Amino acid sequence: MLTLAEKIIFIVLVIVSLIISYKTFSRMFKIINRGKDPIPWKETLKNFPKGLKIFLTQQTLFTTRPVIGFIHALVAWGFTIYVLVNSFDVIAAYVPGFAFFPNSVIGFIYRLFVDIFSVLVFLGVFYFLIRRFIFNEEKLIIKPPVHVTDDVKKGVRRDSLIVGLFIMIHVGARFVGASFAVAHNGGDAAQPLAAIFSSLWQGLSPEQLVLGEHISWWIALGAILAFVPYFPLSKHAHLFMAPFNYMVPDDRPNKGTIKPLNFEDESIEQFGVGNMEHLPQKSLLDAYSCIMCNRCQDNCPAYQTGKELSPSAIEINKRYYFNSHGQEFIDGAEVPLKGLLLTDNALWACTSCNFCVYACPVGNEPLVDILHMRQDKVMMESDFPSELITTFKNLETNFNPWAFNSQDRKNWAEGLDIKTMNEDPNGEILFWVGCAGSFDQRYQKVSQAFAKIMQKAGINFRILGNEEKCNGDTARRLGNEYLAQTLMMENIEMLNKYGVKEIVTACPHCFNSLKNEYPKLGGEFKILHHSEFIDKLIQENKISLKNDENSHKITYHDSCYLGRYNSIYDQPRASIKAIDGLELVEMDRSLNNGFCCGAGGGRMFMEETEGERINEVRTKEAIETGADTIASACPFCMTMLSDGVKTLEKNEEVEVKDIAEIILEHIQ
């Protein structure tokens, strides 16, 4: 189709585009390589099938916003298909008479599919532009008081427009070119939409139709040559980089957690992340994987209640810093993160609920950045909220976050005839009570209820009593990794001393820590949450339940550390449903999309002074179900929900109970 001169010009332009693209893509990887904890690229590339599957299926787009996700997937699939289409178009331009399986069913299906899909992609991108620039949809906006840099304020809308217009120009020009070809060749049943559009060219001479086809080809292919070098600077980079995010080897049992620091390595001078260059390479890769869709803030308890934190802003601020100052960073500039990615208030507003990690369609983990930055604040700068001074001191001296004497840890069990491991280590399972279950007056009742359930089921269990210490979760999430590991190692030593093999606990924070984080420090145990254990007792007919005579209506609140961290959703609900007469009603946000109570990430021990109170927002949602009982399976959740009920003056109408208490009330 092309003349000899056009062919030569196109080859020259391809070479120029590739040279510039090599420089911009190299710049991107040099930025990523500046980070700590190198990505093992050889092992990463071995996971190529996994990345390819995610890229081709776009399955991660449907976790949240499924309708929007499908439209977005159409655009992504369009990009993939157009790689093939453009390849054939270039071949056809250089090889006279070339066509993809002409006069065959395969060729017919190919042309029909491209014809229809081109229009769908064009309309999909047009919709996204209308959504962002005309409707100014709230979900695409990062609202004050969240900190975003000036580069972000100027760049996001501009770059979204550039990307959108590029796709529309490329796809549109290719479609128009096809319509010129259809008009020139006298119609094509395999391209019905292009045929309809070709009616616009009635009256044009064959020479004019050929000219129109040439111009359309150059616009379509020229747009690609112009855009490819810009890819690493645009949000479109996620098309290439997001699959790498899923390909990077990850031996963590669940996402959103951080690897333990090695305090034995005397060569390490920096603990945590204070500067951009301290971030792991995977975190820098996150910036280029970010799709800027803001899904991560849809259910972020801090963002949704008016705090200064947006997980999306962390990645976008990071990305636009690289766009503007990437070469300085490559050349070795030290880049303090304070005031760049987020504010101090935002840093401490995170509840570590893990929604941002769960919802992200490209595998980003802004939560990990927050936890790393907290480590720097606590261990390197001693710069943290004043109320945490008492919390850390209590953990160090009393082995619990409150001022309770550690020698009183067993007092909750008085009169229940429960043996400690020290008295008799020959139990079949250890009940890890936790700090709240041992000292919190309300949650002591839950510990007692669960102990009574096990006794009724004939379970031969033990407790550690005064030898138990805080599991370390609170210290770790607050950035005091040294204190966390100290507590963890002391607990592991104690558990190993008694030869403990199996543990059950009523605290999701203890559960997650013991199950997923202790193994990294040498603590290998079988861990069950009490909601799992109770469901197992019911399934094995070790306890029998009587009907509920008052037809109570119950709504269940999903603990973040039980749900999103460990995918335990069914067992607590199954236990409730096992009681005839109880009606289980779900809140609007439940299961994977459950809304945090506000206590995780150490927030239990900090004041909440900005925006709405997270626990009150969640409690209102529970009350709106019409339930007379809010069920939980976490001591922190119980505290926050109980406080919410009192604040809303609903304590005469609504009770907050643990799963264990509900089951004990209905045991025959």
Cα–Cα–Cα angle for 604, 384, 608, rounded to 5 degrees: 35
Same domain, 140 and 260: yes
Q: Place 339 in a pLDDT band, splitting at 50, 70 and 90.
A: confident
Same domain, 322 and 341: yes
42 by DSSP, 3-state: which? helix
Instruction: Identify the pLDDT of residue 394.
Output: 97
341-388: pLDDT as tens digits: 999 999 999 999 999 999 999 999 999 999 999 999 999 999 999 999
Integer angstrom CA distances of residue 189 from 112, 115, 210 = 8, 11, 20
CATH number at residue 649: 3.40.50
482-524: pLDDT as tens digits: 999 999 999 999 999 999 999 999 999 999 999 999 999 999 9
Instruction: Identify the pLDDT of residue 18.
Output: 97
15-74: pLDDT as tens digits: 999 999 999 999 999 999 999 999 999 999 999 999 999 999 999 999 999 999 998 898
Residues 484 and 471: their CA atoms lie apart, in Å, by 8
Question: Domain count of the chain?
Answer: 3
Integer angstrom CA distances of residue 130 from 67, 123, 124, 126 = 16, 10, 10, 6
Integer angstrom CA distances of residue 358 from 299, 461, 464 = 10, 35, 35
pLDDT exceeds cutoff 90 at 170 = yes
Residue 545 phi/psi, 5-degree rounding, is: -115, 140
Same domain, 251 and 149: yes
Same domain, 308 and 337: yes
Instruction: Identify the pLDDT of residue 101.
Output: 87
Q: What is the CA radius of gyration of the chain?
A: 30
Percent of the chain with pLDDT over 90: 90
- Is the preceding peptide bond at 145 cis, omega within 30 degrees of 0? yes
Same domain, 126 and 179: yes
Nearest of 495, 477, 457, 507 to residue 639 by alpha carbon: 507
Provide the token pair at 158: 């501009």
Same domain, 471 and 502: yes
Domain boundary, last residue among 480, 503, 537:
537
Residues 182 and 184: their CA atoms lie apart, in Å, by 5
- Site of tokens 């090889």: 95
Q: What is the DSSP string of 157-199?
A: HHHHHHHHHHHHHHHHHHHHHHHHHHHHHT--TT-HHHHHHHG
Cα–Cα–Cα angle for 102, 104, 107, rounded to 5 degrees: 60
Partners of 420 in the beta sheet?
463
Give the mean model confidence (pLDDT) for residues 333-339.
93
Long-range contacts of 153-159 (CB under 8 A, 24+ apart): 155/320, 155/323, 156/292, 156/316, 156/320, 157/132, 157/133, 159/233, 159/234, 159/235
Same domain, 135 and 68: yes
Instruction: Identify the pLDDT of residue 256.
Output: 82
Residue 279 phi/psi, 5-degree rounding, is: -65, 145
pLDDT exceeds cutoff 90 at 102 = no
Do the beta carbons of residue 183 and residue 201 sit within 8 Å? Answer: yes
Instruction: Identify the pLDDT of residue 550.
Output: 83
Residues 323 and 61: their CA atoms lie apart, in Å, by 26
Domain boundary, last residue among 508, 537, 566:
537
Give the mean model confidence (pLDDT) for residues 211-227.
95
Provide the token pair at 463: 């407790």
Domain that holds residue 553: 542-665
Same domain, 629 and 562: yes
Instruction: Identify the pLDDT of residue 257.
Output: 85
105-118: pLDDT as tens digits: 999 999 999 999 99
Instruction: Identify the pLDDT of residue 1.
Output: 73
Give the mean model confidence (pLDDT) for residues 431-445.
98
227-281: pLDDT as tens digits: 999 989 998 899 889 999 999 999 899 888 889 999 999 999 999 999 999 999 9
459-486: pLDDT as tens digits: 999 999 999 999 999 999 999 999 999 9
Q: Place 78 in a pLDDT band, splitting at 50, 70 and 90.
A: confident
Partners of 461 in the beta sheet?
429
Q: What residue type is assigned to position 346 of the chain?
A: A
186: phi > 0 → left, psi -120 to 50 → alpha, else beta; which?
left
Residues 411 and 465: their CA atoms lie apart, in Å, by 8
Sheet holding 655-658, edge to edge: 583-584, 553-556, 629-632, 655-658
Same domain, 375 and 406: no
513-552: pLDDT as tens digits: 999 999 999 999 999 999 999 999 999 999 999 998 888 9
- Site of tokens 């805080």: 470
Q: Place 2 in a pLDDT band, splitting at 50, 70 and 90.
A: confident
Do the beta carbons of residue 457 and residue 542 sit within 8 Å? Answer: yes
SS3 percent helix, strand, coil of the chain, rounded to 5, is 60, 5, 35
Length of the chain: 668
Instruction: Identify the pLDDT of residue 341.
Output: 95
Domain boundary, last residue among 479, 506, 537:
537
Same domain, 491 and 548: no
Instruction: Identify the pLDDT of residue 80.
Output: 84
387-430: pLDDT as tens digits: 999 999 999 999 999 999 999 999 999 999 999 999 999 999 99
Same domain, 483 and 582: no
The mean of the pLDDT values for the chain is 95
Q: What residue type is assigned to position 609 of the chain?
A: T
- Site of tokens 């916003």: 65
